[in-house]
Structures are given as structure tokens and as C-alpha cells.
Amino acid sequence: MAEPNFAPGLEGVAATHSSISNIDGVAGLLSYRGFAIADLVAYSSFEEVALLLLDGVLPSAADLGEFDRGLRTHRQVKYNVREIMKYMPVTGHPMDMLHCAVASLGMFYPQQELSDAERENTLHLDAMAMRIIARMPTIVAMWEQMRFGNDPIPPSPDLSHAANFLYMISGREPDPAFAKILDSCLILHAEHTINASTFSVLVTGSTLTNPYHVIGGAIGTLAGPLHGGANQKVIEMLEEIGSVQRVGAYLDERMANKDKIWGFGHRVYKTRDPRAAILKDMMEDLASHGHLRHSRLFEIAIEMERQATERLGPKGIHANVDFYSGVLYHEMGIKADLFTPIFAMARSAGWLAHWREQLADNRIFRPTQVYTGEQRQHYVPVAQRS
């Protein structure tokens, strides 16, 4: 029998057909449903982008209003989920908490599998997706309060998705400029073709399990430092560098040890990730208008990008989205271990759009392997083994 093709990391292997988003890794372009990411950041909102990703078209004002009202209505999380969270170690990483809490939601809305009729009912799937997108920020914010011994701050139905999250983690209605920054970040992180966590959505979803398992698996996949977890690593790296003057020496040491530079490199982009460019411009703009300070870490980040690009750019390795998102959140006063959960809150929209797309034309994922083990071994009973 011919040996199957093997592509490490599935590089270049198309795992699905999809009409949700598209990357041109050479030109450095990203679009959702054909709309350039820069236009969506400039003119849209996370709520509209989530619906665009799920349904494939820009919604009418009435449909967007209905979706937005639904999100606001479904922000509340059951008291029993809070009880489960009470017993989680406060020193645990918020991504671990989010993974457990989202999976636990499935037990309160039990649906072990989807019937054929449900799978074909896009309204039903949209409603399930909306409930998950609505509740993830509440769960993250509840944890942010509970781990410091505070009572969770109930969601406000009067605020947008982004503003409400900032309100729940701080207890104060946010500066509208900050709410707009977070909204833009949520848009930039909402979707990104078949990355590792979205691929996990396709695999898990293809078994017809419930969406809480699907999203729980994706959260676990996103948590790793090679994927979404890199945004926290970037801030830790910049803190470790400590000053603009130390950037060169830090790079020398990392590169001599063949260690990776966090927030750099991408499987698909061979140029600068367009999201990194938008985030950096946004920070410059906000700083020039007095909304953000130009902190030491931001200055180190700029120098780091300059020097790392000089060295790694010729190999096609440039700053990715995680490089500046962490710096931006840091400037907004958000704790570093919340960066990846915020990424997950945003990406839930893209994940659920892919889940819907997968269900519309489902076939269970079952790849093959190149077997490298022994063939016919002779079994020796344990008493006779030396």
C-alpha cells in the first residue's frame, strides 16, 4: 500500500472549504466575509462583526438590533456556575478557569448531541452561538473579581459588549475611548481562518458534540504559548528586557540559544501581520491624543520590533497580532493573564461561525498516519521477561 502523504503541522494542507475569512500572507491582508479588516475596525462593532461572521452578510439594522439585544439578555451566568468557580484555585490561570467554566455551561443546557433538524435550523444554531458569545466575558470578569475575594459585578444591559466587559472587571463605566479600543481589539481577534484552535473546532464539531465541548476544546488549544498564549508571553518578555538599551543584548542571547521571540512569526504571513500594524497605529494615535500614556514597555516594544525585524524579517518572520495586543491591554491597565481570555472572548465568534459551517456539510475528521512502530512482536508473559 502506498504510504500516505505527511505534512508536519499540516502545513499547506486544506482541511475544509470556508467562506468565513481569508488571508493573503504575502500582501499581508485579512478579510472577514470579503470585508477588509481595517474597514471593519474603522466602521463596525464587535456585535456586527460577530453576526457577519455567523450569517455571512452585513446585517440589517433590525437584525443587528435583535442580535445585540440577545447578547445583552444572555450575559447573565447561572449562579451554579459561579458556585463551581468558587472552588477553583485562585492562583489558577484564567484560561484554565475559562476552559472548565465554558465546558460546565453545557451541563446546565444539556444537549449531548444535535439532531438533524437542529443542525439544519440555522436560527437554533445562531441562538446557541449567541449564548456562548454573550456569557464568556461575564465568566472572565466574574473570575477577575472572585479571585481577589470580591463579589462578581453583574453585567449591565445598558452597555455594549466591550464596554460591559470593562465595566465588569473594574466596577466603573469605562472611558468611551477605552471601550472603543477594546471593541477594535475584539474585532481584530474575532476570526483568522484555520488556525490551531479553529481547526480544533472543526475536529470536535465534526463529531456532532455540543458547542460547549467544541468551544471548551478551542479555549484549551488557544491557551498554548505558540498560539493565543503568546500575548501574555510578550509582556513578560518586555518586562524581562526592562529597558530600550537592553533590547539588542536580549535578542543576541535568544537567537544564540535558538529561542523564539514571542509575538513574532506566523505560519501564513510572510510579512507583517496586518493586525499588528493596526494595533500599533492605534496605540500611537491614542497616545498622541492623550488617551494612553507612552509607557516604558511600549517604547521597548517599538525598539524590539525594529531590531527583531532587521534580523528575522529576511526569513519572513515579522510581528504578529500578539506582539502589540498585549502591550495595548497593558497600557489600558488590564492584567497580563487576562490577555488570552480576552482573545478567546473575541475568537468565540469565529469559532462558532466555523462550527456552523462545519455542521452544514459535515464529515467526521479522521486523518491517517505514517506508522513508525514495530510490526509483529512476539508476546512474552510478564513472569518470563528479564
Is residue 137 a contact residue for ligand ACO (CB under 6 A)? no
Is residue 227 a contact residue for ligand ACO (CB under 6 A)? yes
Tell me the per-residue interface mask from 186 to 205 with ligand ACO, x by CB under 6 A, - otherwise. Answer: ---------x----------
Task: Sort strands 29-32 and 21-24 into parallel, antiparallel or unpaired.
Answer: antiparallel
* Single residue of 219, 317, 334, 352 touching ligand ACO by CB under 6 A: 317
Residue 7 burial (C-beta neighbours within 10 Å; 0-12, 13-18, 19+): exposed
- C-beta of 66 vs 337, nearer to ligand ACO: 337
Residue carrying C-alpha cell 510579512? 271
Q: What is the closest distance, in whole angstroms, from the C-beta atom of residue 267 to ligand ACO in the complex?
A: 4
- C-beta of 259 vs 374, nearer to ligand ACO: 259
Is residue 238 a contact residue for ligand ACO (CB under 6 A)? no
Q: What is the closest distance, in whole angstroms, from the C-beta atom of residue 340 to ligand ACO in the complex?
A: 10
The whole-angstrom separation of Cα 325 and Cα 343 is 9
* Single residue of 82, 119, 213, 260 touching ligand ACO by CB under 6 A: 260
Binding segment for ligand ACO among 91-99, 256-264, 278-286, 360-368 (CB under 6 A)?
256-264
With beta carbons less than 8 A apart as the criterion, state whether 268 and 331 touch: no
Cell of 188: 481584530
Backbone angles phi, psi at 48, to 5 degrees: -65, -40
Residue numbers annotated as active site: 266, 322
Is residue 9 a contact residue for ligand ACO (CB under 6 A)? yes
The whole-angstrom separation of Cα 194 and Cα 342 is 19
- Segment (H or E) for 315: none
- C-beta of 63 vs 337, nearer to ligand ACO: 337
Is residue 226 a contact residue for ligand ACO (CB under 6 A)? yes
Cell of 48: 456586527
With beta carbons less than 8 A apart as the criterion, state whether 300 and 243 touch: yes
* Single residue of 50, 54, 166, 261 touching ligand ACO by CB under 6 A: 261
Cell of 118: 437542529
Residue 271 burial (C-beta neighbours within 10 Å; 0-12, 13-18, 19+): middle
Binding segment for ligand ACO among 212-220, 262-270, 286-294, 299-307 (CB under 6 A)?
262-270
Binding segment for ligand ACO among 206-214, 227-235, 284-292, 372-380 (CB under 6 A)?
227-235
- C-beta of 53 vs 321, nearer to ligand ACO: 321
Q: What is the closest distance, in whole angstroms, from the C-beta atom of residue 21 to ligand ACO in the complex?
A: 13
The whole-angstrom separation of Cα 378 and Cα 384 is 12
Cell of 378: 512476539
Classified as helix, coil or strand, 174 is: coil
Which residues are near ligand ACO by CB under 6 A?
Answer: 9, 195, 226-228, 230, 260-267, 312, 315, 317, 320-322
